[in-house]
A and B are shown apart, each in its own frame.
Chain A
Amino acid sequence: MILLLWKKELESYFTSPLAYVLIGLFSLISGTFFFNLLVTYTDGIQAIPQHLAQEISFVEEVVLRLFANINFLFLIFIPLITMKLFSEEKRLETLDLYWLSPLREWQVVVSKGLAALSLIIAMLFMTVLFPLIIWGVGVRDFSLLGSAYLSVILNACCYISLGLFCSSLSGNQIIAGLLSILGIMFLWMLTWGGHLNSNYLVAEIFSYIGITSHFERIIRGLIGTQDILYYASFVFLFGFLSVKSLGRRNW
């Protein structure tokens, strides 16, 4: 059933211009970021003595910054994808089709979430070109590439689950989209709020609840149990809330 709905959702992305516009726009913007970072890096190492230039890490200056920027792009791109997932179906009353069938709410939530994640992975797939270009010009340091991809995919999972929940709350796409953007910004601000607080315990709690500290660890390949636990519980919590929100019509 999940596979059936996942396929239906994915087809609906690719039968409308939305998926192509998003993939094109994402490739253009991330490509521009990559180009600028590369130019800044090469200009930087040419402007300083060679023994110092060796100290500047390519991965640190280009790869990690690029993926941090991609994470930033998700603030807009993921709510654009998730905002319509439930709200449009609520408005058109097409969810009735699922509730009249032996499907359960969680199956609908999971399949919609997986389809949105598939679209994000398709978007990220375009960025595989960047390491290939770097390989072509002789750079061989790709040490953190895998963890960088993992970090943005894990963040995408969180943003998608948050977006699904926001979409399940309202029959208005714009409201759902704005709620998702505010939610993601709030997640980022929690970590920043933690940095600003002088109380160690409060700072640690804020830092753990916020997503940025986990992202920063994983992107550097420092994957800890608490990070995996954080992402898993985040996705599960908002998935659960979406199921409950959809189930409000129920007994």
Chain B
Amino acid sequence: MSDIFPKWTNKLPAMVGVAGAILVPTILAGITYYFTPKYTRVGYQPKQPVAFSHAIHAGQLGMDCRYCHTDVDKSWFSNIPASETCMRCHSLVAKDSPKLALVRESYSTGKPIPWVQIHKTPDYVYFNHSVHVTRGISCVKCHGEIQKMDEVYHSKPLSMGFCLECHRQPEDHIRPNEFVTQLDWAGEFDGKKAVHDWKVQPGISCSTCHR
């Protein structure tokens, strides 16, 4: 029998093995890093039509989140304020600022400002803001340190794993209800007791969120 394959091909299995041992973990690590919400979502910062700074309003001025997002503790939906809300102050403060031209226009015409949505739960996920906000889960837990952001960006992954982390151990994330909108709160709190007393029962079955 003549040789079909040259002698070096005897080493092929070992070479394939070594290449596989290097490539497979590299590819897995690459997918884990580049193709999960920690990378694909975090940092998303679209340009907004009006240069509204949360850092000034919520940070420096210390306005409560609920001054503008009025329904967050009553509804599943956290509303974006109407331009009337802005004009309550801005009809007196910086009332001729060119930065607010669009707000004034919206106020006079009734046409909403085309804000760009940043945090979005998919349509197959049921998420209720009020049930979280009224049981000691602060805005900061999902939206990050909004009070420090000049322009809002996606700061948490909001992946399913992110939701489950808290649903599995709510006591590590819960805080007194009165501090829910105080984003920089860092006090001591007995989470376990609150979870028990407030009957916090975050479901972890599929149908909790996928209804």
- The finding on whether chains A and B are genuine partners in a shared complex, rather than unrelated, reads no
Residues of chain A touching chain B, judged by Cβ–Cβ distance below 8 Å, are none
